[in-house]
Homo-oligomer: A and B are copies of this chain.
Amino acid sequence: MLQEIEAVLIDLDGTIFKGKKLIPKADDAVAYLRSLGKRIAFVSNRGNLSQRMCHERLKEWRISVREEEIILSSTVTAEFLHVHYPFCKVWTLGDYGLQEELQRYHIQLARKPEEADFLVITLHETMTYDDFNLAFQAVQHGARIIATNADKTFPNENGNAIDVAGMIGAIEATTGRKVELILGKPSCFMVEAALRYLQVSPTKCLIIGDSIESDIRMGRMHGMKTALVLSGNAKRKLLDSLLEKERPDYIIDSIYDIVRLGEEAGQ
């Protein structure tokens, strides 16, 4: 499984942690990949965290990780705006981490919704009616809409929770305007950011994640090896109905299985 692999892209929610809990021995799995000398990028659709915030969270779980190894949809969104719309003003509907990430890329945050060229939507777990209304105002005053990702749900300690699609739905329904760009996995923006950091050909990469639609689809599209973990969104009983073209190369219960498989193979 790992012999031909030089770099591993690792999803976070459902693969490394679930809500506030580390997935058992995910830390050991990462340490094992490091011991084999694999390059690593953590590639997550989380848009409500900044790289710094995510780094702190992973360090609390004693996962060995450098900030620049963390590629979030907030990171990629901020970088996209920095490159393509360097002078834009942005209003956000999302938790603070998105703002922090935008500022790291020198994106100007609008002081009032009316000023905004873009509304950027991400997960907003502390959202209020007022937050919705201010975002609505931004679009009413001409802001175009982009979203860090459009996941419908994410797995937390209590099962599934509403993800960014909920915030997008509210804004699209009330403004009659559409999101014009979604940057998260499986988009080329995420995979290209990861490959730029890793400096490895996609055929030498393994992607490990819990989502057929984002992780596996993105990996397959770019010629990577793919491993689906069953510790998050994907359930074993759904696998029978998978299309051939959607099938991952490996299906494992959790990321720690790569240690077991590696040791069985004598690595």
Contacts and interface: CB of A to CB of B under 8 A. Distances in A.
Interface in A143-178: 144, 150, 165, 168, 178
B180 A178 contact: no
Query: Majority SS of interface residues in chain A?
Result: mixed
A85 B218 CA distance: 11
Nearest to A242: B142
A223 interface: yes
Interface stretch (A61-69, A98-106, A185-193): A185-193
Contacts of A180: 150, 181-182, 187
A156 B117 CA distance: 30
Given A178-B150, A178-B179, A182-B178, A88 B221 contact: yes
A243 B88 CA distance: 17
Task: Give the interface size class of chain A.
Answer: 20 to 34
A187 to B, nearest CB: 7
Copy total for this chain = 2
A115 B187 CA distance: 19
A87 interface: yes
Given A117-B221, A182-B178, A142 B243 contact: yes
A144 B188 CA distance: 12
A84 B188 contact: yes
Nearest to A116: B245
Interface string A97-135: 000000000000000001101000000000000000000
Nearest to A178: B150
A207 to B, nearest CB: 16
A21 to B, nearest CB: 30
Nearest to A115: B245
Contacts of A181: 180-182, 187
A44 to B, nearest CB: 17
Interface in A172-229: 178-182, 186-188, 192, 217, 221, 223
A54 to B, nearest CB: 23
A182 B145 CA distance: 11
15 contacts: A84-B192, A87-B221, A88-B221, A114-B243, A115-B245, A141-B245, A142-B245, A142-B246, A144-B217, A150-B180, A178-B182, A179-B179, A180-B187, A181-B181, A181-B182
Given A85-B221, A88-B221, 18 more contacts: A84-B188, A85-B188, A87-B221, A141-B243, A142-B217, A142-B243, A142-B246, A150-B180, A165-B178, A168-B178, A178-B179, A178-B182, A180-B181, A180-B182, A180-B187, A181-B181, A181-B182, A181-B187
